[in-house]
Structure 1
Amino acid sequence: MNKYLLDENKFNDFYDLYLYSFNRQDSQQRRLVLKERYDQSHVYGIMNGKKLGSGLFSIPFDVNFHGVDFKMNGIGDVMSAPEFGGRGGASSLLKNALNDMYQEKVTLSYLAPFSYGYYRQFGYEQVFDHTKITMKNTDLPRVKSSEHGHVERVDIKDIPESLKTLYFGQNHLGGMTRAPWWWKHMQDKHADYQAALAYDDDNQLIGYLIYYNEAGTFYIHEWINQKPLGRQLLLKFITKHQSIFTNFVYESPDPDFKADLLLEPNSAKLEVVPYMMARIVNLQDFLQRYPVKKMNLAKVCFKVDDFLDWNAHTWMLTITDGIVELRIADDQKADFELSIQDLTKAMFGYRSLNSLAKYGIIDGDLDKINELDGVFVHQKPQLIDYF
């Protein structure tokens, strides 16, 4: 058993450190929400005398990456008491968590960084961006009313199972598949949120948005469309609030703005917001089950730099009729070398190997780099959830 794992009796210590470290006020809801995460997580901590000095969550999730399901542990609430800071407590906990993930056959890990540079030293890399779109109520587009379908408005606690099914069907770019407990956690955490449900004439759910309001602003938290009619109905629902709210904000997991779809593209203020980071925990599993884009690949050897020993090898990859064969080839000369962070970016579709080579970040046999680049997806990943 890992000596840093905390049991359920340490929740109050963890909660107290959480309140102090993140300058939060105690409340019944905050305690409930953190307890939900605590009960579902591997919780790590280091005691500093009689008090908890450092702590973090390693939360088991599942993600869908282009039709392939992978186990992913989310790292959350990384914290240290000020009097315990600078002793490497959080670093030790994170390294232990990564080792445990590998032993438990977890392939990937995500986290929300307080510092991208800090987490890069542990092999994490930015692969998720959000597009934050802000519009004034006077600039909202005109949307035609539809003679078909209708919209229903419900509190988030009353969202139907069909909404969860619709989310699952649209989630395939690295997003979380959302276990039942996580849906409940979202509802408890965002108890003041509401949902607008778009139905067609057959009363089938074809789109939804989850939203909230704050200080005169209409915030769209999540927006899923299955059909154009659903998008039209929900757009009309949004514009009907223009007499109530001054500003409208949507932070989309899709980094593509699609400004050309607006009548006046400059009517919207756009910000690309760096979001969460990812890490390949088990490179062998990720590559062997990866949704490859080439059915055949001649031998490519590449050396990976990683402080996780099981990833830090020269790997030989071949693909024959869609069957991936991967083996350690430390005795072979590598065609090129790259860090686990750069390989993560390439495999997630965030930045291609070709682009990394053009920027001089990786160097080696360009033909081999191009061949491997053709194996990976070139569509940026999308993640809505936060932990």
Structure 2
Amino acid sequence: MNKYLLDENKFDDFYDLYLYSFNRQPSQQRKNVLKERYEQSLVYGIMNGKKLGSGLFSIPFEINFHGTNFRMNGIGDVMSAPEFGGRGGASTLLKTALTDMYHNQVTLSYLTPFSFGYYRQFGYEQVFDHTKITVKNNDLPRVSQTDQGYIERINIKDISDNLKKIYFENNHLGGLVRSKWWWDHMLDKHSNYQVALAFDNQRTLIGYLIYYTQEDKFIIHEWINMSPLSRQLLLKFVTKHQSIFSTFIYESPDADFKSDVLSNPYSARVEVIPYMMARIVNLKDFVSRYPVQKMQLAKIYFRVEDSLEWNQHTWALAINDGIVDFKIADGHKADLELDIQDLTKAMFGYRTLNSLAEYGRIKGEQDKISALNQIFVKNKPQLIDYF
């Protein structure tokens, strides 16, 4: 058994370290929510005498990446007690978690960084951005009333399987395939959230809005539309709150704001916020099952630099009628060289290989770089969830 894995008897120690490390106040709800994550995760820790010195969660998930599901472990609550800091505890736990992921056939890992530089040491790279849109109540757009469809408002505890189905059908750019326990966990964690449901005249659910309020702010957490009618109904619902709240905020997982659809683009303050990082844990599996964008590719040899020894190789990649052939080819001269972070950005569609080459991030033959670039998706990834 891994000596760093914690069993259920260590939960109170983990909870105490969590409260101290993140300066949280104890509450029964906070403890219950953390216990849910604890029970579903691989939990790692290093003892410092009789107290827990460092700890982290490795949470098993699945993600939908352009129609292909991959196993992904989310790293969360990375923490060390101040008196135990600087001893490499968190680093040891993260390296151990990555090794365990590989042996457990986990392909990818995501995390929320406290420092991008720190996690880049472990092969993680920024691939998710959010767009934070802030609008004052007197700048909200005018939305025409429609006699089609209607809105129902419910507590988040009452969401239906139909809503979950809409999320599932609109989540294919690297977001979570939410399992039952994660939905339940979200509902417990955000018990004060509310939901607006958009229906058409046939009582078919066509969109939803998850939101909460905070003092004078109306804050949209999640917004999915299946049709223009859904967008109109839900936007009208939001604007009807302008006499109650002075500020409206939506942090969208889509980094493309689309300001041109507003009658007055100056009315919104827009911030693109770096969100979460990703890491390719098992390059062999990710490339072999990747949703390639070209059916043919003449063999290309590329060298990948990575701290994970099973990824650090010269690889040979060829595609014939959409069938991917991806093998280790150490000893063969590489057509191009790149590190795992830049390969992650390219494969996730965050930045193209050609762009990375322009910034001097990739060495090699330009025609080979361009050819490899063509097989990768170009839509930027999107992630709503947080852990």
Q: Distance in 2 between matches of 1:165 and 1:304?
A: 38
The offset of 1:280, in angstroms, is 0.2
Number of residue pairs matched by the alignment: 387
Counterparts of 1:266-281 in structure 2, within 5 Å, are 266-281=266-281
The offset of 1:215, in angstroms, is 1.8
SS of the residue 2:12 aligns to: helix
Structure 1 residue 200 corresponds to structure 2 residue 200:
yes
Residue identity opposite 1:301 in structure 2: Y
Residue-by-residue CA offset, 1:133-181 (whole Å, 9 max, x unaligned): 0001001001011111100000111111111010000000000010000
Q: Distance in 2 between matches of 1:72 and 1:199?
A: 34
SS of the residue 2:237 aligns to: helix
Q: Distance in 2 between matches of 1:83 and 1:279?
A: 30
Q: Distance in 1 between matches of 2:3 and 2:311?
A: 24
The offset of 1:364, in angstroms, is 0.8
Q: TM-score normalised to the size of structure 2?
A: 1.00
Counterparts of 1:1-387 in structure 2, within 5 Å, are 1-387=1-387
Q: Distance in 2 between matches of 1:260 and 1:137?
A: 20
SS of the residue 2:212 aligns to: strand
Residue identity opposite 1:293 in structure 2: Q
Q: Distance in 2 between matches of 1:176 and 1:96?
A: 23
SS of the residue 1:316 aligns to: strand
Residue identity opposite 1:92 in structure 2: T
Residue identity opposite 1:304 in structure 2: V
SS of the residue 1:61 aligns to: strand
Q: Distance in 1 between matches of 2:320 and 2:143?
A: 51
The offset of 1:385, in angstroms, is 0.1
Q: Distance in 1 between matches of 2:363 and 2:134?
A: 40
Residue identity opposite 1:269 in structure 2: R
SS of the residue 1:324 aligns to: strand
Unpaired runs of 5+ in structure 1? none
Q: Distance in 1 between matches of 2:295 and 2:161?
A: 38
Residue-by-residue CA offset, 1:88-144 (whole Å, 9 max, x unaligned): 000000000000000000000000000000000000000000000000100100101
The offset of 1:274, in angstroms, is 0.2
SS of the residue 1:30 aligns to: helix
Residue identity opposite 1:2 in structure 2: N
Q: Distance in 2 between matches of 1:32 and 1:2?
A: 26
The offset of 1:361, in angstroms, is 1.1
Residue identity opposite 1:299 in structure 2: K
Alpha-carbon RMSD: 0.4
Q: Distance in 1 between matches of 2:58 and 2:305?
A: 24
Residue identity opposite 2:364 in structure 1: G
Q: Distance in 1 between matches of 2:131 and 2:350?
A: 15
Which contiguous aligned blocks of 4+ residues in structure 1 show a shift greater than 2 angstroms? none
Residue identity opposite 2:165 in structure 1: T
Residue-by-residue CA offset, 1:241-289 (whole Å, 9 max, x unaligned): 0000000000000000100000001110000000000000000000000
Q: Distance in 1 between matches of 2:41 and 2:343?
A: 28
Q: Distance in 2 between matches of 1:271 and 1:40?
A: 34
Q: TM-score normalised to the size of structure 1?
A: 1.00
Q: Distance in 1 between matches of 2:177 and 2:199?
A: 23
Q: Distance in 2 between matches of 1:300 and 1:100?
A: 30
SS of the residue 1:270 aligns to: strand
Q: Distance in 1 between matches of 2:361 and 2:156?
A: 45
Residue identity opposite 1:327 in structure 2: K
Residue identity opposite 1:230 in structure 2: S
Q: Distance in 2 between matches of 1:106 and 1:197?
A: 35
Q: Distance in 1 between matches of 2:216 and 2:277?
A: 31
Residue identity opposite 2:372 in structure 1: L
